[in-house]
Amino acid sequence: MRPLRLVDPKNLVPGRMYLIQEKREEYAHLRNKGRFVKNEYPPSPVYCTITHFTDVIGDFNRSQPDLKLQEPYWNYYEADAIEQAYITHVLRTITGDPDFIYPN
């Protein structure tokens, strides 16, 4: 299994799904997944970036249509499992080897 990749908030891609996890240890159990919409950058260095997500699903499977998060408190992760599975399938077809696994 491939590990999740930590993504800097500036590099989030609109429309892509991300795992959202609290940075502070005492709240690390708070995990959500949501589709990134946009970043709202601060007007001055005193403020932080606000990251907007939609279609957010949390621990209790309740959907939130719009979630705004402050950058200092959250980590964003991306998984490429679907992409890896597709590449493995295509390479299995090309090589004819049904046990071929695309390397990590």
State mean pLDDT over 38-63.
86
Selected residue with higher pLDDT from 70 and 86: 70
pTM for this model (two decimals): 0.70
Q: Which domains does the chain have, with CATH numbers?
A: 5-95 (2.30.30)
Q: What is the pLDDT of residues 52-81, one digit of tens each?
A: 999 888 766 677 788 899 989 999 998 665
Please tell me the predicted confidence (pLDDT) of residue 104: 47
Q: Are 52 and 65 in contact (CB under 8 A)?
A: no
DSSP 8-state code for residue 98? T
Please tell me the predicted confidence (pLDDT) of residue 103: 63
φ, ψ of residue 76 to 5 degrees: the values are: -120, 130
Please tell me the predicted confidence (pLDDT) of residue 38: 95
